[in-house]
Each structure stands twice: as structure tokens, then as C-alpha cells.
Amino acid sequence: MKPNLILLCFLLFTVPAPTVLAQTAGAKGEPEAFARDFSERFRRHVRREAYPAAALAIVQRDRVLVLATEGYRSGSDGKPADIDTLFRLASVSKTFAAAALGLLVDRGQLAWDDPLTHFAPEFRIHGDPAQIRLRHLLEHSSGLMPRAYDNLIEDGLTRDAVVARLADLPYLCDPGQCYGYQNVIFSMVEPAIAAASGQSYERWVQEQIFEPLAMHSANFGRRALVDSTNYAGPHVRSRGRWTPVRVQADYYRLPAAAGVNASITDMARWLQALLGNNPETLPPSLVAYLTLPRQPTQRQLRRAEWRNHVSAAHYGMGWRIYMIDDLQVNYHGGWVQGYRADIAFAPELDLGIAILLNAEASSISELSAAFWGQAKDVLGAAE
């Protein structure tokens, strides 16, 4: 059944707005009012910060409460962003990689404890490489130093060239015993998925996730983004204003870790699937497994935007797991030059949110954290 879309599209005007964001209202048990009020808060915040373009989706399992865009695709072209405008997702891409691998495990074509070396025999490390299992990639528990050789990806090296250098790195702990966020190692799910599916990683995700969920704009890579007639160009803060910059190729070299482009419409559909609306494509049992708390991430408790809300923080498989008192919120953020992205959902509240920006703005996390702190207080647990 086609979702009931409440479409809120706003244009950016340079008008004064409060510097302190107002408390979101909405009667307990009224998600429509809560979503409507939060979208108004979002609009005011985007105007105040003068972001080039921003997009917001708030959904329940079987309906879209808010689908909103604000601003312009580029500070120079004057064309408004709309609900089909493409943004880079950066590390939010990891949520798709976890699901893609999980689907193959569900079908018996892979196992969580398969050694990585079964699919990448060239993989070497200063120690026994066979200790690293597929689950360790998704959990960020490979035992290697955090963000191992991200700098080389930023310098222009390919994934394979960087992986070859991992042979110089020792384990900091046994795989599975400590958390260390990764991009290069995470992307090694790609050869496993390719070997099991007989397709490239990108084609598997396209056919098994994007297409059945009607994520019509979603795609992979720099070329697909810039060849689109409707994408939000990246911006960075320079001399007090948002300045357009060139789309960088760097982390696009790691499709599983950071290679997806999507519109806010696509993200609404992804959230609804995560909440259980498309069980034939994304089984709820798989989502529940991916979002089990696994690796403690104590540093997340000190994040300025979240520390007043989150009482416990872990990483699952492709998801951060935050506890707001007794409410579990499954979250991931993304950040590459010129873009920010946030996605989160709470099955207990039957609620999900996605925010996309074509600007490097840390306040996106402020919005996400406030949304969930207030959602718990305003909506309470779903009956």
C-alpha cells in the first residue's frame, strides 16, 4: 500500500530566527503533532545556520510523517533542493553493507564466523589473519588500530593498495575483544559478498535492497552523483560562509564503508524497511540481530550532543546502539568533505528519522540527539 506522505517542502529565506531552538511540542501518543513540530524546529535551525541544502524524513513503519527539504542544491545555481535530490551518505553507507551481508547469512550463503581470508586470501596482517571473521568487520572489532590507514585513502590510494600495507600492523587486541572504528577493513565485506552472490557488491545491494524498496535515486560512487541532474553539491565553512567545493573521490573508493548516494525519499523508504514494513526484503529478525549491542563504545557517552541523553553506548553490526534510559535507539552518522548525514530508528516507538546536509555542520548531531530525547518524553513507548 502506498504510504501516506505528508510533504513539507520549504525554501530558504534569509530571515531572523531564534538562536536557541524551541522545545518540540506534541501531545503524548500523537506522533503526527510531534513530527510536525520537529520539522518546524528543523526549518528554523536550517535558516539560522544558512545551510545550502538540508533534507528531513520522519517516518513510522507504514507511513511517512514528514518529508521536507530546505534550501538550494548549490550556493551558486539557485535551484531548490527537492525530495529526490541526491546527497552523499558517507558512513551511513555501512548500514546497507551490514544488511547486504546479513541477507547472505540468512540464506545460508555465508556465515558470520567465516574467516575473511576465505574470500581475500591475499589479506595479511602482523599476526594470524585467519582470526578476523566477517562479524568482526561489521562490529569494528578486528583488533587493529582505529581508522587504520584512512589517511592513505584520503591521499588517493585504492583499497587494495591500502590493504596490502596492513601487513605492517599488529593486533592491538584479539579480534572480537576491543572496538576500533574502521573504514578500510570494514570495506573488506565486499569480496565476501561478491564471492557468495556472484555479483559485485554494488550490484548486489542495488538488486537486493535499493530496487525492491523502491529507492529509485540511490546509487554508488562519485560518477553517479555528479552525472545526476539533481544532486546537492558539497560545501565547507570558509570566512564565515558556506563555500562550494569539488566532490572528492576519496571514500568513494570504499563502497561498503562510505560509497552510497541517496535522496531523502530513499532514506524514508530505508527507515520504513528497518521498522518492519518490507519483511520480504529485510527480515525484522535480521534487523534485530544487527542491532544487538556488541562492542562497548564508552567515548560515545562523552559526545557533547548526546551525553545528556545517552546512558549506554555500543556498536552492533553496522549500527551504533544508544540507550536513552530504557529506550534503544539505533543510529549512524556520516561525514565526508562537504556533507553530513544522520539516520536513526527506535522500533519501540515505531519511529525513525534521517537528516541530510550538503554542508559540514556538527549541529546535525544536536538535532538528532534532541529529537530522540524529546521523542521518548513526548511519545512514550508504543502500545
pLDDT tens by residue, 108-133: 999 999 999 999 999 999 889 999 99
Query: Residues 39-77: pLDDT tens digits?
Result: 999 999 999 999 999 999 999 999 999 999 999 998 666
Where do the domains of the chain lie? 5-98+201-379
69: β partners: 9, 55
Band the pLDDT of 29: cuts 50, 70, 90.
low
Of the candidates 264, 253, 254, 251, the residue with the CA atom closest to the CA atom of residue 217: 264
Cα–Cα nearest to 94, from 291, 256, 249: 256
How high is the mean pLDDT of the chain? Answer: 91
Distance of CA 264 to the CA centre of its chain: 12
Per-residue confidence (pLDDT) for residue 119, from 0 to 100: 97
Looking at residue 91, what DSSP letter applies? G
What share of the chain has pLDDT > 90, as a percent? Answer: 83
Cβ–Cβ under 8 Å, residues 28 and 380: yes
Task: Read off the pLDDT of each residue in 292-300 and give the average, rounded to a whole number.
Answer: 96
The string of pLDDT tens digits covering residues 181-228 is 999 999 999 999 999 999 999 999 999 999 999 999 999 999 999 999
- Cα angle 163, 172, 177; round to 5: 105
Q: What percent of the chain lies above the pLDDT cut of 70?
A: 91
What architecture is the 5-98+201-379 domain classified under in CATH?
Answer: 3-Layer(aba) Sandwich (3.40)
The answer to whether residue 16 scores a pLDDT higher than 50 is no
